[in-house]
Structure 1
Amino acid sequence: MTIIESIKKVMKEAAKPLTDKEIYSLIKKDNLHPIPAKDPLHIVKTTIRRHCLGLDFPSAKKVKYFKIVENKRGSSKYFLLDPKNKQEIPKITELNEKDKLPEEIIKDEHFKHLSNIKQDLLDFILNSEPSFFEKMVVELLLKMGYGWDDKESGIVSGRVNDGGIDGIIYEDQLQLSKIYIQAKKYTDKPIGRPEMQQFVGAMENNQKGVFITTSRFSKTAIEYIEKSSKDIALIDSEKLTELLVNNNLGISKVKDFTTYQIDRDYFDL
């Protein structure tokens, strides 16, 4: 009997949420699976959390057998997800930070790090010149794969009173197909319907467009674009910083940290 089978067996027989300590105690009591390890409780806990619904970290497994359902000022309790289990699944009350595996903590802290970097990116953009922002958004779309050439297919209009067109991406070498770009650097003011109408009007007969802002889009602006016959992508501040990070624009990698898991096939376990 494998360790995961042993855990499922004791949880099914208990028919109630159990802590990792309680699960390990029952496995040991019933002599279901000897765990020749310096810290067998850690093995049990790691196995459970890697197969736990709602937990997503580098070494987590796709197949989920358990769910965290309770934490009353102590260790988390886990419930067996089994179609044959007629017991109603208890509602989760609170996650216990102390029960998290190092991999979970790394992912949480990495998420916080990315949030800080995105905010820093937005601050730098807001403090830059409008011309820089227009150049940046054109470069971003080129890095994302739009345009036939990453050097020659994107231009910044740089015109005063351009009617809402700040840049153009040519999708083919003969410039038969193009994407119009509008870039608005706002702080708190949302992009409303009037700005969208101006952009659509400036596009004339062109079908494709991208409207990028450091702010957000109002409900009326979104509804207007949804009903428009044009193909227009809306990119707000949150999406913009996400795209900048994903395409490594305006940032540079400092150091990579690798997480590991044991290759059980190597040990024939």
Structure 2
Amino acid sequence: MPVPDYQTLMLPVLKLFAESKQSIPECIEDLKQQFNISDEEAEELLPSGKMTYLFNRAHWARTYLGKAGLLESPKRGQHQITQLGLDVLAKNPTAINNKMLAAFSDFSEWRSRDTVGSKDELEVHNNASTIEFDQTPEDQIQSASKILDAALRDDLLTALLQVSPTRFERLILDLLKSMGFGRSKHGQSILTPVSGDGGIDGIINEDALGLDAVYIQAKRYAPENRVSRPDIQRFVGSLTGESATKGVFVTTSDFSKEAKQYVERVQQRVILINGRLLADLMIEHDVGGRTRTTYLVKSIDDDYFTDI
């Protein structure tokens, strides 16, 4: 039997995690047996040649279930069913699909916030040729790209919360360098000592003498733990102590309204980067991620057919 689409796999995947499966690879053999998928069909690769259709669709089924709150991921690559997921299974549904998941506020918020313009029945995960008549092929590619980036953004933030504080600080320096800071001939970046850093986690010198430097504070906070105004005040105080004029405060969560308002009134130029923007910048500048597949959109070359 051909590999089912990702929505068909949602209910079986949720049931497998209810049976104590902890990862998608652990689910593959059960899915093969349930849908009578042959070894040859299970090993069929996507055009990129780096992932099978079965694993890819099971992965997307898991991702969408997670966005609805039916699964959670305590660690990268490990997943478990939530109480909400158990409640859904208790109702003995015959299927789970995007239309059903749209009834959950977390899923609807994720789709409206991160994938505006995408379609519930988008076939990018299904290897189907169906085209939405209200979207051009280019529009479909853009919609699919938004879905992929939204999922990657969440994966990056999960990974950031699991690295060590020192590795996180180094990652922020790597990102800023990738964005062009400290790229001059004599520019350099350094991490401050773990203890006694005075509220400064890193420094990027834009010139050889360090006359033009950017000071960095990086905080790995859970999503619900926002950076408050006192946190920003301490950072600004550290900048003043260093006679610094530029600062970047980065967090995996977000900033309180009072913190944002305070930054607007200080003498120093302080840029705030919250978790969403941090993940977007990492995607844009290829930090912590890599390109898996590239699709070329070709059109006719009119010049080639012009009479000489």
Tell me the TM-score range normalised by the shorter chain: 0.5 to 0.7
Would you say 1:206 and 2:241 are equivalent positions?
Answer: no
TM-score (norm 1): 0.60
Q: Which moved more, 1:144-153 or 1:191-200?
A: 144-153
Matches of 1:99 and 1:242, distance apart in 2: 28
Deviation at 1:159, TM superposition (A): 2.5
Query: Residue 177 of structure 1 corresponds to which residue in structure 2?
Result: 212
Amino acid at match of 1:230: Q
Matches of 1:167 and 1:145, distance apart in 2: 16
Query: Residue 160 of structure 2 corresponds to which residue in structure 1?
Result: 125
Would you say 1:115 and 2:150 are equivalent positions?
Answer: yes
Residues paired across the two proteins, number: 174
Would you say 1:218 and 2:218 are equivalent positions?
Answer: no
Aligned residue for 2:287, secondary structure, equals coil
Q: Residue 248 of structure 2 contacts residue 270 of structure 2 at CA under 8 Å; is this kept in 1?
A: yes
Query: Residue 64 of structure 1 corresponds to which residue in structure 2?
Result: none
Cα deviation digits, residues 220-259 of structure 1 (max 9, x gap): 0000000111101111111111111111111111221011
Q: Residue 143 of structure 1 contacts residue 150 of structure 1 at CA under 8 Å; is this kept in 2?
A: no
Matches of 2:278 and 2:134, distance apart in 1: 35
Q: Which moved more, 1:216-225 or 1:253-262?
A: 253-262
Would you say 1:153 and 2:191 are equivalent positions?
Answer: no
Amino acid at match of 1:199: F
Aligned residues: CA RMSD: 2.1
Unaligned stretches of 5+ residues in structure 2 = 1-118, 120-130
Query: Residue 44 of structure 1 corresponds to which residue in structure 2?
Result: none
Query: Residue 270 of structure 2 corresponds to which residue in structure 1?
Result: 232
Amino acid at match of 1:215: S
Does the C-alpha gap of structure 1 residues 110 and 218 become closer, same or farther in structure 2, counting only changes over 3 Å? same
Deviation at 1:266, TM superposition (A): 5.3
Deviation at 1:106, TM superposition (A): 1.5
Q: Residue 187 of structure 2 contacts residue 207 of structure 2 at CA under 8 Å; is this kept in 1?
A: no
Deviation at 1:158, TM superposition (A): 2.9
Matches of 1:192 and 1:143, distance apart in 2: 28
Amino acid at match of 1:243: L
Cα deviation digits, residues 10-65 of structure 1 (max 9, x gap): xxxxxxxxxxxxxxxxxxxxxxxxxxxxxxxxxxxxxxxxxxxxxxxxxxxxxxxx
Aligned residue for 1:168, secondary structure, equals strand
Aligned equivalent of 2:233, options 173, 179, 197: 197
Would you say 1:164 and 2:199 are equivalent positions?
Answer: yes
Query: Residue 27 of structure 1 corresponds to which residue in structure 2?
Result: none
Quick check: which has more Rg, 1 or 2? 1
Does the C-alpha gap of structure 1 residues 151 and 259 become closer, same or farther in structure 2, counting only changes over 3 Å? farther
Does the C-alpha gap of structure 1 residues 231 and 156 become closer, same or farther in structure 2, counting only changes over 3 Å? same
Does the C-alpha gap of structure 1 residues 139 and 114 become closer, same or farther in structure 2, counting only changes over 3 Å? same
Cα deviation digits, residues 129-157 of structure 1 (max 9, x gap): 11111010011111111114589600011
Query: Residue 105 of structure 1 corresponds to which residue in structure 2?
Result: 140
Matches of 2:236 and 2:132, distance apart in 1: 49
Does the C-alpha gap of structure 1 residues 213 and 147 become closer, same or farther in structure 2, counting only changes over 3 Å? same
Q: Residue 131 of structure 1 contacts residue 158 of structure 1 at CA under 8 Å; is this kept in 2?
A: no
Query: Residue 144 of structure 1 corresponds to which residue in structure 2?
Result: 179
Amino acid at match of 1:142: K
Aligned residue for 1:253, secondary structure, equals coil
Aligned residue for 1:132, secondary structure, equals helix
Does the C-alpha gap of structure 1 residues 261 and 148 become closer, same or farther in structure 2, counting only changes over 3 Å? closer
Does the C-alpha gap of structure 1 residues 238 and 176 become closer, same or farther in structure 2, counting only changes over 3 Å? same
